[in-house]
Structure 1
């Protein structure tokens, strides 16, 4: 296996990890006005992802940096051709990060409501736009002979891409609802379970339609396996949600997201950005890659540091594994301050 294939797999792994982890962050943010009936309950939702959301975003940063270093031509064409969708994603992520930090700086209800809306839109916009971006990559875009995007924003907002956006949005909302059923207790958990029952039905319909179209139009024989695995994950999640098996439900939604992303990357390979104008214009793992020496050095660094990062992130999840209950937060607020 040559270096370009290795790094295509690494990039696919990083994006898969990002969508699996950041997916439930987006889902929790999108569900903030639905599941949080008062400020304390909304605080429960934010506390559920508070210790991990910024660590989850590291996967996006590393995936982008890895793409830039390993496939600079892909990075250049992607970020120039998809400038407006990716700008919307970046602005939304910035607003969401600021909202997490500033929401608790003041007690006034209107102050917190404004930041809650920022968290909502800062979660919904990326959850939708990532599906649009990756659906277009799978479908192919208008690349000329110089590997420059010559289409328009309207070309990117085609029906298949919009269906991809709805797919990621529904999957992430489901993933977030199941995560909250696993991480919270009391009324918040009960509402999360009810939302998960609705969201899993929507995800099966929307996600199933998207994956079937992807397989029929762009898939390969091997991707039938990943499509079937994604369907099995959603079906298993539905059964687990009904039976109250929160852990297995989370495994099912995670499996569906992972298999959906793997399906798109497998369908894409060996291209990294197909051209709909002419096959010769497509960017591939070969003509978009850095030099073999660069890929060799990057592989050594990835092998050395990736396990350490994953161990640290796993330890973080273990430390903050306990459920959160609104009743505990209310009691903490009513407790008198210790004497100085």
Structure 2
């Protein structure tokens, strides 16, 4: 099998898709977290400020999700088909939630009526929580494994997705995004709203630490296949160690009110957790909970080597452009949020 820099093409595409999903989690994570916290703000001015904190970037951040979906279809069409047929209902609910989140942000300021804005505030908050919860639910089921038969068909039902482990992962995802979003908002605000957010950041950090500990224990006890790679490669234990140290640094920087550093560490811990997820799965993408032989590996699901090579070249050109655009937008809209006639 053809290799590039010592790695075969399916592994390269596994890394590319993992990087895109990580980029989406880091970038859209604080948007969704800010949305989940939206109803904690009671004043009209406060709600407008937190909306405008994410206003210039939220739709651009979703580009990473679109690219990740396209890369999955191009690199591993079998996995794309199995995932979208298996999670058909969750993904449809996910898309509906994305739509309501977008129109809630855009429609809220179109009318001055209190009931109108209250309605879209609730829609924005609920849809953000729902999106985050569904993302965590899908992730939890991929870690836990799915009942897949020899024909790679899902043999469970809707209730299969709501197993205790997947629900725990969903709450952990929600807690992480809320922490990520709260830290971002506290960097973008000032005065009374800043003071309120400092309290929210502390509460969110406690919520995430609790979920992190519970998830770590549950994974070690109930999902032993996720630790197999660490038994064969003990050097990988540096990653969980980095995750724990990063978590401690988030709390330390929050306590000392160094919120930019805390935000960077929240990006790192999100990346570390997704890397640990990828290591646990590799070389599989979908694990069968009924029969390991029915699991789908990157080698069984990959497109032809020629296709992977051409698309890898396109990705090598396109990804730096997307990163450059993202950096430019964040640099352009840096600093504290100020309301004006063009604000939401």
TM range (shorter): over 0.9
The equivalent position to 1:166 in structure 2, one of 150, 168, 171, is: 171
Matches within 5 A, 1:11-30: 11-30=17-36
Matches within 5 A, 1:52-71: 52-71=57-76
The CA RMSD over aligned residues, in Å, is 1.3
Matches within 5 A, 1:40-189: 40-189=45-194
Q: 1: CA distance between counterparts of 2:336 and 2:220?
A: 39
Equivalent residue of 2:335, what SS? coil
Equivalent residue of 1:286, what SS? helix
Equivalent residue of 1:129, what SS? helix
**Structure 1 residues 49 and 237: CA distance shift in structure 2, 3 A:** same
The equivalent position to 2:298 in structure 1, one of 258, 263, 285, is: 285
CA drift at 1:211 = 2.9
Write the deviation string for residues 276-330 of structure 1: whole angstroms up to 9, x where unpaired: 1212211100111111111111101101111011111101000101112xxx53x
**Structure 1 residues 306 and 146: CA distance shift in structure 2, 3 A:** same
CA drift at 1:212 = 3.8
The gaps in structure 1 that reach 5 residues or longer are 334-340
Q: 2: CA distance between counterparts of 1:273 and 1:77?
A: 9
**Structure 1 residues 224 and 155: CA distance shift in structure 2, 3 A:** farther
CA drift at 1:10 = 0.5
Q: 2: CA distance between counterparts of 1:171 and 1:141?
A: 24
Equivalent residue of 2:299, what SS? coil
Range 22-31 or range 202-211, more displaced: 202-211
Partner of 2:324: 311
TM-score (norm 1): 0.93
Q: 2: CA distance between counterparts of 1:231 and 1:90?
A: 33
Partner of 2:273: 260
Q: Given the alignment of the two structures, is residue 276 of structure 1 paired with residue 289 of structure 2, yes or no?
A: yes
How many residues of Structure 1 are paired with residues of Structure 2 in the alignment?
327
Q: 2: CA distance between counterparts of 1:89 and 1:52?
A: 20
CA drift at 1:215 = 4.6
The gaps in structure 2 that reach 5 residues or longer are 1-6
TM-score (norm 2): 0.92
